[in-house]
Structure 1
């Protein structure tokens, strides 16, 4: 598969003449889905889902078969996107209401974009801190409409600023409680699309940065009847998949409306739009028991042929749908073959205005992807040779096409080695077949991991090699033998 994609990429870049930058820096839009798995978009080859607008983006832009996020759960993944770096560098490893934030001494993406002269707007789910000083209106956004919670009811919200039930938290407009969803008489995903279109309309004459962070397709499982009507003829293996398809179609509509608005105002050729999900398919899903799924038993969201789910470091948790769309600049109908990471987009966006690094704080781990996907870089040159993940007790490292991973709750507890080029579904653990490679990759991971700060929650990791710099090594073979006994 990867060889086929590489040939397609080479042929496309040779046949397509593109530029790296527009005459002026482009408008920038991020559309972030929540908990949308690899198997939840049509352009990946799945016909039991309807995503015509997302598929149109892939047809008119570049999609990434090996796209990763920096974490397999919402909060830290979003921190990676909005910081442009490994969020672990500021102690952000998992979801925590008050402690897990991007610190103020680390300039984030909206703050950079504002510095570069963009009008900045965010719509939707925040999930990067609940205290006022860490909410969007105090973290670089000129405009905010949405709710800070991790999940939210799609039909109801509270009018009370002191609401304790997170599912019904108020929806805010620039720091003030706005009209409750039920009084607007609509569906949250559609309301977010309305607000996104309004933001573009209001700012069409000046450079803008829009971060549209949908709650869809995250729990609670709720969908408006009008979307179910549009998927009633979809062939699905389970009726829960049809219900989920309705939720996905509402999200897809929002993207179609954004593109239509850009085209209406002739902004499409000067707007870089990136669509992605914050992590993979949730292991808990559906109405029927058992709700905790195993490989091949999903009834709603799907990781496709990949192993694992949201919350772990198998491919199903961290490999996600991702598309970049910029007509006339980014090649159309291209599958970019090499691994990329969600933190690359911050570096890519600000590079269009000549910014190399944040003005304050740590430097990017991400790289400017435009030279790679437009053919300015050699076709065989990868943006990243080595990738790392650490979320609580789960970790992974990818070097080239080899991946070492350890997960504390799903699957075997041992350290496992996979050849992703020949086994992207992670079905064949090769740690015992290639023990020297497994040991080298564990040492490389420990060298990186041991230099990271502690979790801001104060929790220490049982499987972190804190003494790596002092010469201590994690013996993979011995540890696996012990864990298998």
Structure 2
């Protein structure tokens, strides 16, 4: 009897120790909030110089944290960009070619609902959940419509949103839903119910509730607010149009949608303060790709290009990060970074051993960000970055950028001196063109064959789009 009681005592003490250790760990682990806007223009924020757009909450947020002057995504369209972000790997390495799923695909590969983020790939949510985080995705998924690709089978404990790439900002009626099955609002796994009111408002409110529940249970959270704003369809609340009397047409609607997004994010930032967790919550705001000027009248000034091409306006995006407990405020980070870096950064702050993640293509940004304010000469996180969509590709090595096209000679730019990509230096520097061409090809040799291919006709449309919307003017 004594031995049994003693064993029970040891077991009780051991359980208490585990509980205490987990509680301490949870208290030490920062919360992580990732906010992804959709199709926003590079210039369409006050913190990037816009005089037309009204984004006071994000402008204030930028002053509270770090503004990245050269933040890149891995793809110039929505789905592949997310595939790179959530895996920390160039998505072409697992066959996720730079095309949205599903899409206008040829019959030579996967089509329809079979297209999606390969099940062989673990997401940042998978890893953070293993580290004790409550994980939630609210909003747009766009990494596969089939049940096997569902967010709750890819590391997320909670999902409220829709599986495909875009949808109405207002609820569909039953007749509309019959032809828009993958655009239905879904809670959990196959729990369908259309939202009330305006979609951006509903997604932010859901994120606020998810965060509140996590705080109540004293569990660190990884919340992804994957907005559709300001992606088409161009739909704004009437009251948000009024502050822009001098604008007309689609540009006015975009400004109103942008304003609404900013207002709602202000409410979410206020919620972090109210819950007394703002200081120890790492918050990232980033856009998924360049603004599609021909669709929503986004302005990517001073960059050339738009969504769907590899000019700077298609792949360089607004990005902010704030973590008051650890990172400096009112700071600009000048060197190139990539959304590939978000996964290793998140894993690092969560307490993971990054030596177990050497297969990732991104880097932990924390050493660069914490030292940046004191050491302006610190080496850049990346010397080389790559992009590829079938025959089209780009490489940036230090400040040189080479673009490869299917219908014209390669172009070469010095981004440090010409971020608008106006002066093609390919003829003046043939040796650099040759070196970068070879370096790009060597990277391509490490990639998997694409699991799907876009119909060739759309590649021609992409080139015409690039030529028609290459330049932007300040507002």
So what's the TM-score if we normalise by structure 2? Answer: 0.83
Q: Go from structure 1 to structure 2 and tell me whether the alpha carbon gap of 1:359 and 1:254 turns closer, same or farther (over 3 Å shift).
A: farther
Instruction: Give runs of aligned pairs for residues 265-414 of structure 1, distance below 5 A.
Output: 265-286=275-296, 300-357=297-354, 363-375=359-371, 378=375, 379-408=377-406, 413-414=408-409
1:192: which partner in 2?
Answer: 203
**Partners of 1:460 and 1:47 in 2: how far apart?**
40
Q: Go from structure 1 to structure 2 and tell me whether the alpha carbon gap of 1:164 and 1:108 turns closer, same or farther (over 3 Å shift).
A: same
The structure 2 residue matched to 1:242, chosen from 252, 256, 279, is: 252
1:108 aligns with 2:106: no
SS in 1 for 2:371: coil
- What per-residue deviation string (whole Å, max 9, x for no partner) do you get for residues 421-450 of structure 1? 110000011100111011101110011012
**Partners of 1:460 and 1:358 in 2: how far apart?**
41
Asked if structure 2 preserves the Cα contact closer than 8 Å seen for 1:83 and 1:107, the reply is yes
1:221 aligns with 2:224: no
Instruction: Name the structure with the higher helix share.
Output: 2
SS in 1 for 2:89: coil
The structure 1 residue matched to 2:213, chosen from 192, 196, 202, is: 202
Q: Go from structure 1 to structure 2 and tell me whether the alpha carbon gap of 1:147 and 1:413 turns closer, same or farther (over 3 Å shift).
A: same
- Distance apart, 1:78 and its partner CA: 0.3
The structure 2 residue matched to 1:95, chosen from 96, 100, 121, is: 100
**Partners of 1:138 and 1:43 in 2: how far apart?**
37
- Distance apart, 1:96 and its partner CA: 2.5
Asked if structure 1 preserves the Cα contact closer than 8 Å seen for 2:293 and 2:299, the reply is no
Asked if structure 2 preserves the Cα contact closer than 8 Å seen for 1:159 and 1:179, the reply is no
SS in 2 for 1:343: helix
Asked if structure 2 preserves the Cα contact closer than 8 Å seen for 1:280 and 1:319, the reply is yes
SS in 1 for 2:62: helix
- Distance apart, 1:281 and its partner CA: 1.1
The structure 1 residue matched to 2:186, chosen from 172, 196, 207, is: 172
Unaligned runs of 5+ in 2: 1-24, 103-112, 457-475
Unaligned runs of 5+ in 1: 1-20, 287-299, 462-485
**Partners of 2:256 and 2:455 in 1: how far apart?**
41
**Partners of 2:148 and 2:423 in 1: how far apart?**
47
- What per-residue deviation string (whole Å, max 9, x for no partner) do you get for residues 392-446 of structure 1? 33210001001001245xxx73210001111000001110011101110111001
- Distance apart, 1:357 and its partner CA: 4.7
Asked if structure 1 preserves the Cα contact closer than 8 Å seen for 2:116 and 2:145, the reply is no
Asked if structure 2 preserves the Cα contact closer than 8 Å seen for 1:312 and 1:407, the reply is no
- What per-residue deviation string (whole Å, max 9, x for no partner) do you get for residues 182-220 of structure 1? xx2x10111111111111111112100000000110010
Asked if structure 2 preserves the Cα contact closer than 8 Å seen for 1:157 and 1:171, the reply is no
Asked if structure 1 preserves the Cα contact closer than 8 Å seen for 2:128 and 2:350, the reply is no
Asked if structure 2 preserves the Cα contact closer than 8 Å seen for 1:112 and 1:358, the reply is no
Q: Go from structure 1 to structure 2 and tell me whether the alpha carbon gap of 1:203 and 1:67 turns closer, same or farther (over 3 Å shift).
A: same
1:36 aligns with 2:46: no
> Which is further off, 349-358 or 108-117?
349-358
Asked if structure 2 preserves the Cα contact closer than 8 Å seen for 1:107 and 1:359, the reply is no
Which structure: larger Rg?
2
Q: CA RMSD in A?
A: 2.4
The structure 1 residue matched to 2:56, chosen from 43, 52, 59, is: 52
Instruction: Give runs of aligned pairs for residues 433-452 of structure 1, distance below 5 A.
Output: 433-452=428-447
1:431 aligns with 2:426: yes
